[in-house]
Amino acid sequence: MRKAKTVSEMTAKELEKIRKVKYFLLDMDGTIYLDTTVIDGTHEFLAEVKKQGKRIFYITNNSSKAVSQYVEKLAKMDIRSEEEDFYTSVDATVKYLDDEMPGAKLFVIGTDALKDLLRLKGFETVEKYEKEEAKRPDFVLLAFDTSLTYDKLNTACMYLQDGVKYIATHPDKVCPLDGFHSMPDAGSFMDLLECATGRRPSFIAGKPEPTMILMIMEKLGCAKDEIAVVGDRLNTDILSAVNAGVVSVCVLSGEATEKDVKKSKFAPDFVFKSVKELCEAIK
């Protein structure tokens, strides 16, 4: 399925597949809102999922905010949520670090909120370039940083040139704002660091890695055909669903266009103009 369809254009097999889904894993930016504007059909879709006794989770690569900030942001849009409804690229990063080196020291290109969360999870943050071995970081961690400074970039470059291990929360190059504009995201910083040092992260935690999806599946103990990832980005949202083997739903309300979908090397299971049409499909 490579073009947006209305319910009347869907086959009985397609309708059966999408209606079998019990858990919808929603991207946020470009999927249910743009900046502070709710995308048409979002409230109706969320209400329909709740009415059917199904469940919504929010999965996002954005690593600049604490989960409590997402709950607050959605509340301002009249969307009720709990912290347990969210899985972020930071959750996936913490899982990776816990598996690799619990309590590691990190030089973080990221927001203060991210650093606070990492410290809460038992990690130590290094704030400047250190020559003394005992004070140096075990990893350079690149994330979305709305407080980015030249000093942070320069310090990261020095550590990378020294051979310090390098990981990132996610690869998104931009973060959408109002449908017309976007701001540089971690993937753009990643390209800058590569130009300066020749290095790329050895591990990227967020989408298209399936880590967040697999964490949710493990928690729920559900089958793959009971989960759908809904998002607006082909190379992150949709590819993460493909990598996890779950249902993929592309909405054309954010980054991806119908032309992009047609050119994509991998096809989403479903393409809708927005969650408004998805809402009609699951009824």
The predicted-structure confidence for 166-197, as pLDDT tens digits, reads as follows 999 999 898 877 667 889 999 999 999 999 99
Q: Quick one: pLDDT at residue 14? A: 96
Q: Quick one: pLDDT at residue 93? A: 96
131 residue type, one letter:
K
Q: Quick one: pLDDT at residue 181? A: 84
For the chain, give every residue range classified as CATH 3.40.50.1000: 7-61+208-282, 91-204
pTM for the model:
0.84
Query: Which residue from 133, 108, 143, 110 is spatially nearest to 123, judged by alpha carbons?
Result: 108
The predicted-structure confidence for 46-100, as pLDDT tens digits, reads as follows 999 999 999 999 999 888 777 898 999 999 999 999 999 999 999 999 999 999 9
Q: Quick one: pLDDT at residue 62? A: 82
Q: Quick one: pLDDT at residue 154? A: 98
Helix (H, G, I), strand (E, B) or coil at 205: coil
Question: Which CATH architecture is the domain 7-61+208-282 placed in?
Answer: 3-Layer(aba) Sandwich (3.40)
Q: Which helix (H) or strand (E) holds 197?
A: helix 186-197
Q: Cα–Cα distance between 142 and 70 in angstroms, integer?
A: 20
Burial grade of 151 (CB within 10 A; 0-12, 13-18, 19 or more): exposed
Q: Quick one: pLDDT at residue 63? A: 80
Tell me the mean pLDDT in the region 22-36.
94
For 91-204, give the CATH class: alpha beta
Q: In the numeric block, which tokens belong to residue 65?
A: 């905010």
Who contacts 100 (Cβ-Cβ below 8 Å, separation ≥6)? none
